[in-house]
A and B are shown apart, each in its own frame.
Chain A
Amino acid sequence: MPVTLLDNLIYVVILAFIGSGALLAGLVMAVFSALLSFWAGSTDNSVMIQVGRRAFYATAAMIFIASALLETALVTHDFSLAYVTEHTDLSTPIALVAAGFYGGQEGSLLYWALILGILGSASLLASARLGPRLAAYAAGIMASIASFFLVVLVLVASPFDVLAITPPDGLGLNPVLRDGGMLIHPPVVLAGFAAFAIPFSFAAAALLAGRFDAAWIAHTRRFALVAWGLQSTGLLLGMWWAYHVLGWGGYWGWDPVENVAFMPWLATTAYLHSSQVQERRGRLRAWNFGLVILAFLLVVFGTFIVRSGIVPSVHTFAVSAIGPWFLGFLGVCLVFSIGLLALRSGGLHNTGEPAPAVSREGAFALQNLLLIGVIAVVFWGTMLPLVSGLVGQERVVNASYYERASGPLFAAILALMAAGPLIPWRHAGAPFWRSLTWPAAASALVLAILLAAGVRGLPALIGVPLAAAVVSTVVYEYARGIGRWRRAGGGWPRAVALLARRRRRYGAYLAHLGLAVVVVGLAASHFWQQEKDVTLQAGQQVTVAGYTLIYSGAETRELADHSELVAAMTLGGQTLEPARATYAGLGGQSLTHVAISSSPVADVYVVLAGTNSDGSASFRIFVNPLVTWIWAGGAIIIVGVILGNTGRRRQVAEPVTASVPSAVGAS
């Protein structure tokens, strides 16, 4: 398609000029919104509070326009933009071209800002009940965060840079990334991180406004749950993608890039639990502020680590000029948050009465400390190369460090997951100790089965029975609720209706159940994985962990831009076709196509290494027990989160001990 000078000029004008213009206008709006909102909030000027808020909506609109223009440029293959040329080409499937929006450095920053704009606007639209001051400060903080992203987008990493000469085709996407996983994993993870800016902004706003009650928690609960749900889904999708594509038989490698995505998830998990203590019992006020701040700082820290490349990682992202910008942003956030917390620490008294150690409050507090402990373990392991490099020879820890250091902490958290939901608030009496019989019996039973089956590894003997205890607790809670309502009259329909009405609580239990299933899958596939390297002639067979595979031959297929060496193996009645593609256009880069035969019991995972001159082929074969349980458990978690998030809050008439001042002058 010949591109005339005029066409080219129109494209450049429309896309690049308006795109950068939208970003610049968005930046001006964001700075204006931030300054005005802080000023109007501190002077209680309700008219200017409205103006500041609308300026934030305008910022979001500008970000949306810029995003729409970038997406248009991508799908219309407008190679006059450097971003489009560097990240796509004409042969890439259109869905992956569209995914280029968040696939590159500049676009992923724009995507982050877009999520912040959308969710931030939603959180402000619904903030009438919070009172104008708190909402104004929250708008100011969100506008400040948006300003940072827009400054970077305008000054250092613009997706709208125009090339001097428009090339006929782009550079395309590395074949490793040409996969459906690319469509879903990155946007979900990034959205999960961006979403956590909302609870952070409202927490900081509450501190600024001196409103230490649980109003900010109640207001942002849905956003925190959305953030947690997206982060959980994103982590699981990343594991799923790595497992199906990379061909090393595993799904998690404790790489720094994985670790920095895992830490915010841990902190968010802790917050979802501790925030309930404040809402229900008026305790842990200062802790909750600290936790939200920690989670957000970990998000920013993760982005900095990933983008700066200062820690050696298997993933090296485009290391660019934005590293120092993120370090600066991290520093500003750190100083601002810690300073604010220190300034307000005098007013952060708990209103509720203290509870004894064995109570729901105590269980949540201990769970929080353990999660912070896991964060410390992961943080130390991630930062060791940097710290040791400063004082001497650079050192790295391997996966066994993380397993050995965090394993006991995870075991304790699982035990709490089994006991915690059974412990009543305030005080644990005899009924609680009796109810522990169920999880204890379940774990003893599973332990006996494992021992009888010949399992001797201590980690599995601790982890799997504890997961069984968690499942038993969830089942017990469901059965108790249904039984009570059924007996109270109305039978099954009423019991189910009540369960659905209290879905915030029962959704959370479902998420616990899902996590227990994930834990069993992780433990089984980690501790009982079997692996075999084998070279076979056609017709020969190999047996791994009871699965017999027969190699029946290999052939080479020529495709448009690559050739594929496909081996055929039969497993029972199935044919598995592990393959190795070679891309001549990319310097002969090869790409493994793993063949996986999944069942609820085990995955047979076959990687083709290559063929030999004598006609034989070499394979690496893994048998991974219960891997499908990880994905199934993940699906249960997601269902639980969705149920929990659609439920209305406070269906149970628990006394609210925190004194909530009525929202004054709601706009």
Chain B
Amino acid sequence: MIRWAIVMGVVAACVGYLVYSASGGASEYYVTVSELRSHQPASGDVRVAGVVQDDIQRSDGGLHVRFTEKDGTASVVVDYTGTLPDIFKPGITVVAEGRLGGDGVFHARAVLAKCPSRFSTTSYTS
């Protein structure tokens, strides 16, 4: 019983250490567009969610894209190179992962879309 408790304690300590050390560089803040300008941490990426506006400019066959992401009243221009989620279009909510540059443009490393994990496209209420 004591031996069992010691093993448990050791495993728990290892897991605790792993969680602590791994979350150091791997956690990002979730911010709103309005918080982005005032709350960006000194280093690391942030995630910002917002609605894609209809000013999408694509270049390079769609691999490079620039669009405005709006959340309530605040908006920010997002610049991203890479493949976009299929459902990306004006009006959908995306989560951009990256940093706000000195040029006031949010340079995204990844753009995730809220996936439509249900059958219907809109709700039909009786």
Q: Which residues of A contact B (CB under 8 A)?
A: 82, 85-88, 100, 103-105, 161-164, 167, 171-177, 246-248, 257, 312, 314-318, 357, 365-366, 369-370, 372-373, 376-377, 380-381, 384-385, 389, 393-406, 408-409, 533, 535, 586-592, 607, 609-612, 616-620
Cβ–Cβ < 8 Å partners of A609 in chain B? 60-63, 83
Interface size band for B: 35 or more
Cβ–Cβ < 8 Å partners of B116 in chain A? 174, 176-177
Give 12 A-B contacts (CB < 8 Å), ordered by A residue.
Answer: A176-B87, A176-B116, A246-B85, A314-B95, A315-B115, A316-B115, A366-B11, A396-B47, A405-B18, A535-B60, A586-B121, A609-B62
- Sample of 17 more A-B contacts, CB < 8 Å, known A164-B126, A380-B23, A590-B88: A82-B124, A103-B119, A246-B85, A314-B113, A315-B114, A376-B15, A384-B27, A394-B31, A395-B27, A396-B47, A405-B22, A586-B121, A587-B91, A589-B86, A611-B61, A618-B60, A618-B61
A92 to chain B, nearest CB (A): 9
Cβ–Cβ < 8 Å partners of A610 in chain B? 58, 61-63
Contact check, A533 vs B63: say whether CB atoms are below 8 A apart: yes
Contact check, B83 vs A607: say whether CB atoms are below 8 A apart: yes
Chain B: which residue is nearest A533 at the CB level? Answer: B63
Indicate whether B81 reaches chain A with its CB closer than 8 angstroms: yes
Pick the most buried of B31, B47, B58, B126: most chain A CB atoms within 10 A of its CB: B126
Contact check, B19 vs A535: say whether CB atoms are below 8 A apart: no
Instruction: For chain B, residues 75 to 126, give those with C-beta under 8 angstroms from any C-beta of chain A.
Output: 81-83, 85-89, 91, 95, 97, 112-126
Cβ–Cβ < 8 Å partners of B18 in chain A? 373, 377, 404-406, 408-409
The 10 closest A-B pairs by CB, nearest first: A618-B61, A610-B62, A401-B26, A87-B119, A405-B22, A404-B22, A373-B15, A394-B30, A609-B62, A86-B120
Indicate whether B74 reaches chain A with its CB closer than 8 angstroms: no
Chain A: which residue is nearest B125 at the CB level? Answer: A82
Cβ–Cβ < 8 Å partners of B89 in chain A? 587-590
Contact of A173 among B22, B61, B119 (CB under 8 A): B119
Contact check, A396 vs B30: say whether CB atoms are below 8 A apart: yes
B74 to chain A, nearest CB (A): 16
Cβ–Cβ < 8 Å partners of A314 in chain B? 95, 112-115
Contact check, B30 vs A161: say whether CB atoms are below 8 A apart: no
In the assembly, what is the distance between CA of A319 and CA of B14, in Å? 37
Cβ–Cβ < 8 Å partners of B95 in chain A? 312, 314
Contact check, A618 vs B23: say whether CB atoms are below 8 A apart: no
Cβ–Cβ < 8 Å partners of B3 in chain A? 357
Contact check, B62 vs A385: say whether CB atoms are below 8 A apart: no
Chain A: which residue is nearest B10 at the CB level? Answer: A369
Contact check, B7 vs A247: say whether CB atoms are below 8 A apart: no
Cβ–Cβ < 8 Å partners of B122 in chain A? 171
Cβ–Cβ < 8 Å partners of B58 in chain A? 610
B47 to chain A, nearest CB (A): 6
Contact check, A173 vs B23: say whether CB atoms are below 8 A apart: no
Contact check, A396 vs B83: say whether CB atoms are below 8 A apart: no
Cβ–Cβ < 8 Å partners of B26 in chain A? 397-401, 404
Contact check, B28 vs A398: say whether CB atoms are below 8 A apart: yes
Cβ–Cβ < 8 Å partners of A402 in chain B? 22
Contact check, A103 vs B63: say whether CB atoms are below 8 A apart: no
Contact of A86 among B59, B81, B119 (CB under 8 A): B119
Contact check, A405 vs B19: say whether CB atoms are below 8 A apart: yes
Chain B: which residue is nearest A405 at the CB level? Answer: B22
Contact check, A397 vs B23: say whether CB atoms are below 8 A apart: yes
In the assembly, what is the distance between CA of A208 and CA of B83, in Å? 55
Interface string of B34-53 (1 = CB under 8 A from A): 00000100000101010000
Cβ–Cβ < 8 Å partners of B21 in chain A? 404-405
On whether A592 and B126 interact (CB within 8 A), knowing A405-B18, A610-B61, A618-B62, the answer reads no
Contact check, B117 vs A592: say whether CB atoms are below 8 A apart: no
Cβ–Cβ < 8 Å partners of A248 in chain B? 83
In the assembly, what is the distance between CA of A611 and CA of B60, in Å? 8
Interface string of B2-22 (1 = CB under 8 A from A): 011001100110110011011
In the assembly, what is the distance between CA of A370 and CA of B10, in Å? 11
Cβ–Cβ < 8 Å partners of B81 in chain A? 533
B43 to chain A, nearest CB (A): 14
B3 to chain A, nearest CB (A): 7
Cβ–Cβ < 8 Å partners of B120 in chain A? 86-87, 104, 171-174
Contact check, B117 vs A316: say whether CB atoms are below 8 A apart: yes
Contact check, A405 vs B23: say whether CB atoms are below 8 A apart: yes
